[in-house]
């Protein structure tokens, strides 16, 4: 039986709210957000056991990841390190990505770090990193159009940064920025260790925490976008082709849909004027393009949430 107090309370509140207002509140549309999903380190991110060249395991990982993308109707782009010592595995993985309708970009041949090598070596590694990808794209009448820097390190000196930008422009290749940068790789490392140990309780905990933690990353960058740009641009999410996403990407896609995200291609995302802005940051950090643009405006960067301590500790204990 409803208490007299509640009846009194409702009598006070209700006259101010029409039944229409209640209905609208319940049916309020989700915000219209868009995101391009990108996966680095094809054929597969490293980790224990030399995964990237283990043909059966890598093809299994690839098929499971592509199945999530198909089920969630996510058009993705994979960034490739061709220079693994296993051309047959690389070719098989890239063929499956293209057959599934996705795009491919270059991520250097051997995942080298621009901070640690002379510019000539870096440019050569870019050129060596696009041979198979260009051939497979070309056979389908398509061109290689995107490059992503390993570690998001885009040049620690103006000379290096400008040399890479000019080299890519000559080849008809555009730098693929990232706005939703994150510590997914820490979860993925912990997850692969849990699987190797057969610690399925930890694996399940890491997967669940991964999804909850990503909500905090989205919340951060949605608000930070408003501070930096005045609106939420089509976001570009960085993930990796790893065992964690082979198991958990479907759940992550559901979380994004619940936040109002619609999945778009990198081409569609980068048609937004935000991506016509130059990247003003010169330095050794690999940071979100939102942070780069913020620094260009003289804003103090608000950093995204780190992975929880226990996840970080699990991979090193
Ligand atoms: Zn990478």
Give the separation between CA 165 and CA 178, rounded to whole angstroms.
16
Range of the domain at 266: 33-314
- Assigned domain for 11 exists: no
CA 239 to centroid of ligand 1, rounded, Å: 9
CA 317 to centroid of ligand 1, rounded, Å: 24
Give the chain's end-to-end CA distance (angstroms, integer): 56
- Assigned domain for 160 exists: yes
- Assigned domain for 119 exists: yes
- Assigned domain for 23 exists: no
CA 80 to centroid of ligand 1, rounded, Å: 8
Nearest to 44 by CA among 80, 83, 96, 88: 80
Grouped pLDDT means (10 residues each) for the chain, 317 residues: 40 41 56 94 76 92 98 98 94 98 97 97 98 98 98 98 98 98 96 95 98 98 98 98 97 97 98 97 98 97 97 93
- Assigned domain for 256 exists: yes
**Contacting residues for 82 by C-beta, under 8 A, at least 6 apart:** 90, 106, 109, 128, 129, 130, 131, 132, 133
- Assigned domain for 117 exists: yes
What confidence score (pLDDT) does residue 89 get?
A: 96
**Residue ranges of the alpha helices (H) in 171-260?**
184-197, 200-229, 243-258
- Assigned domain for 243 exists: yes
Tokens describing residue 87: 């051309």
Contact 140, 102 (CB under 8 A): no
CA 95 to centroid of ligand 1, rounded, Å: 20
CA 107 to centroid of ligand 1, rounded, Å: 7
If one counts the domains in the chain, the total is 1
CA 45 to centroid of ligand 1, rounded, Å: 8
CA 271 to centroid of ligand 1, rounded, Å: 24
Give the separation between CA 15 and CA 206, rounded to whole angstroms.
48
Give the separation between CA 215 and CA 227, rounded to whole angstroms.
19
Give the separation between CA 192 and CA 199, rounded to whole angstroms.
10
What confidence score (pLDDT) does residue 97 get?
A: 98
Tokens describing residue 290: 């939102």
Give whole-number Cα distances, 161 to 23, 112, 148, 236, 290, in Å: 54, 15, 13, 21, 18
CATH of the domain at 142: 3.20.20.370
CA 41 to centroid of ligand 1, rounded, Å: 5
Give the separation between CA 177 and CA 293, rounded to whole angstroms.
11
- Assigned domain for 187 exists: yes
Tokens 């070596």, residue?
Answer: 121
What count of Cα atoms within 13 Å lies in the side-chain half-sphere of residue 255?
A: 17
Helix (H), strand (E) at residue 314? helix 309-314
What confidence score (pLDDT) does residue 22 get?
A: 46
């Amino acid at each position: 039986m409803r208490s007299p107090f509640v009846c009194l309370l409702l009598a006070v509140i209700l006259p101010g709210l029409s039944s229409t207002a209640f209905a609208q509140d319940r049916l309020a549309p989700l915000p219209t957000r868009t995101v391009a999903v990108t996966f680095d380190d094809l054929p597969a991110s490293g980790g224990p056991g030399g995964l990237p060249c283990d043909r059966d395991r890598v093809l299994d990982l690839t098929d499971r990841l592509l199945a999530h993308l198909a089920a969630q109707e996510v058009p993705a782009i994979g960034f490739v390190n061709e220079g693994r010592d296993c051309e047959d595995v690389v070719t098989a993985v890239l063929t499956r990505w293209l057959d599934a309708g996705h795009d491919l970009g270059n991520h250097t041949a051997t995942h080298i770090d621009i901070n640690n090598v002379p510019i000539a070596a870096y440019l050569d590694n870019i050129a060596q990193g696009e041979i198979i990808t260009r051939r497979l794209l070309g056979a389908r009448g398509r061109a290689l159009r995107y490059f992503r820097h390993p570690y998001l390190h885009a040049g620690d000196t103006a000379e290096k940064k400008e040399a890479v930008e000019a080299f890519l422009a000559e080849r008809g290749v555009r730098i693929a920025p990232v706005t939703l940068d994150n510590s997914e790789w820490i979860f993925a490392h912990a997850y692969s260790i849990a699987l190797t140990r057969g610690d399925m309780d930890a694996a399940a905990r890491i997967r669940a925490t991964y999804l909850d933690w990503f909500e905090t990353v989205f919340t951060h960058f949605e608000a930070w976008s408003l501070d930096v740009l005045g609106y939420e641009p089509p976001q570009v999410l960085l993930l990796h082709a790893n065992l964690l996403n082979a198991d958990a990407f479907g759940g992550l896609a559901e979380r994004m849909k619940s936040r109002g995200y619609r999945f778009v291609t990198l081409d569609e995302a980068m048609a937004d004027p935000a991506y016509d802005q130059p990247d003003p940051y010169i330095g050794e950090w690999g940071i979100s393009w939102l942070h780069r643009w913020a620094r260009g405006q003289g804003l103090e960067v608000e950093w995204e949430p780190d992975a929880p301590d226990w996840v970080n500790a699990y991979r090193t204990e």
